[in-house]
Amino acid sequence: GAVVSQHPSRVICKSGTSVKIECRSLDFQATTMFWYRQFPKQSLMLMATSNEGSKATYEQGVEKDKFLINHASLTLSTLTVTSAHPEDSSFYICSARDITPGKGASYEQYFGPGTRLTVT
């Protein structure tokens, strides 16, 4: 099946610093990747939709200048949390769609294993 990886799996940073999280589709191409945030015992909340070669679309309430998204290739999207604060501590998960003709129905998103960010 389609595999999505994330790096790093865990990161601890100091308040005020920036952190970059990578999301890669390992064996398929993805024009669209999604970034979610999940707080403990809560559901996944969509933060933004990342489209290869164009600007990301952010959900209401998500600061685009704080959460910078770059989708430079069909296999890589990055999320940078700028000037991180303790309230940004969360589990960040990406997902991707397989655009290969004949593969992957339009509904299906493959999720990465997540990145746990702790801001001290």
Partner 1 sequence: QKEVEQDPGPLSVPEGAIVSLNCTYSNSAFQYFMWYRQYSRKGPELLMYTYSSGNKEDGRFTAQVDKSSKYISLFIRDSQPSDSATYLCAMSEILIQGAQKLVFGQGTRLTINP
Contact flag: residue 80 with partner 1 (CB under 8 A):
no
Contact flag: residue 118 with partner 1 (CB under 8 A):
no
Contact flag: residue 84 with partner 1 (CB under 8 A):
no
Is cis: bond before 8, omega within 30 of 0?
A: yes
Contact flag: residue 79 with partner 1 (CB under 8 A):
no
Contact flag: residue 109 with partner 1 (CB under 8 A):
yes
Residues ≥6 apart with Cβ < 8 Å to 21: 6, 7, 8, 11, 78, 79, 80, 81, 92, 94, 115, 117
The only residue of 71, 75, 95, 119 in contact with partner 1, by rule CB under 8 A:
95
- Rule CB under 8 A: which of 36-75 touch partner 1? 41-46, 49, 51
Nearest CA among 37, 39, 69 for reference residue 52 = 69
The only residue of 15, 18, 55, 113 in contact with partner 1, by rule CB under 8 A:
113
**Residue 21 burial by Cβ neighbours in a 10 Å radius (0-12, 13-18, 19+):** buried
Name which of 78 and 114 has its Cβ closer to partner 1.
Answer: 114
d(CA 91, CA 116): 4
Contact flag: residue 8 with partner 1 (CB under 8 A):
no
**Could you list the residues that contact partner 1 (CB under 8 A)?**
4, 6, 32, 34, 41-46, 49, 51, 91, 93, 95, 97, 105-114, 116
